[in-house]
Amino acid sequence: MLLAIDVGNTNTVFGIYRGSTLVKHFRIESARSKTADEYGVLVEMLLSRLSLGGDDVQAAVLASTVPSLADTFARMLRTYFEIDPVIVGPGIKTGMPILYEPPRDVGADRIVNAVAAFERVRGACIVVDFGTATTLDVVSAKGEYLGGVICPGVQISADALFTRAAKLPRVELARPPRIVGKNTVNAMQAGIVLGQAALVDGLVARIKEETRFDPVRVIATGGLAGLIAPETKAIEEVDDWLTLDGLRILFERNRSASAGG
C-alpha cells in the first residue's frame, strides 16, 4: 500500500491507498518541535489502531509546505518504514507545465491540488483550498498551471480579530443565522464565514473575466471547505481528499524515484 502525506502549516493528513482507492486516513497536528523518532512512534501507533503495520506500507509520497518538516518526515519514513519517499518539489515529474515565476516558488500543495483537479475534469479548473491560507489555483484547458491567489485563511482572520481588537472575543467558526448580526458573535461569524465566501466568489468572477475560460470547473478542498463552500455561488464541488489524490497521482508518475515503488 501507498502512504500519502500532506504536511500543512497547521495539520498533517495521511492517506493510505490500495491502488487508486483511499482505504484509511488520519490527521495530526503539524508540530515543528517533534523529532523524526516522535513522529515515527506516533505514526506506527495510528497505523496499529487502523489494524495496519509498517510492513503493510510499501511506498510513500510526501508534500510539505513546511521545509523543516519535509526533512523530518522523510527521515521518519526511512528510519521506521525503510522507505525512500517521493517528495513533491523541484525536479519532480508533474505532467503539468508550471507557468509561474519562478516555478520552484509554487507551494507543493498547490501543484498537487492542480494536478488532481485537472486529472478529474480534463479541462480548465480553479481549485479553492481552505487551509491556513486560502488559495485559488488556476489550470488552463491545456493542463497548464497558470498561477493563482493567496489570501489570509479563515482561522488566521478570526485569530487576527481576537488578538488585534481588544473588545472582540474569540468565536466559534460557524455559519451565522443571518448576514446582519444581532450580537457581536454573530456579526463576527458573518464577517469571517460569509465574508470569506464573498471573497471567493469575487475572486473567481475576476479570474473568469481575466482568463475568459468557458467552461471552468471550481473545486474546493481543505479543512474548512465544508463550512465555507455551501455559502458561495462559485464553488461547484467539495473534495476533502483532493490533495491526497494528487499525491497518489504524482507518485504514479514518479514511482521509479521511490525505493519502495
Closest alpha carbon to 114 in 81, 147, 69: 147
Q: Per-residue DSSP letters for 23-67?
A: EEEEEEE--TT--HHHHHHHHHHHHHHTT--GGG--EEEEEESSH
Between CA 104 and CA 96 the distance in angstroms is 13
Looking at 6, 109, 129, 245, which residue is catalytic? 109
Grid coordinates standing for 60? 510513500
Grid coordinates standing for 161? 480579530
CB atoms within 10 A of CB 99: 13
**What are the start-end ranges of the H helices in the chain?**
36-49, 67-80, 108-121, 154-164, 184-189, 195-211, 225-228, 242-253
Between CA 189 and CA 169 the distance in angstroms is 11
CB contact at 8 A, 214 and 227: no
Q: Is 109 a catalytic residue?
A: yes
Q: What is the DSSP letter of 131?
A: S
Count of residues for the chain? 261
CB atoms within 10 A of CB 92: 18
Between CA 117 and CA 233 the distance in angstroms is 19
Cite the active site residues.
109
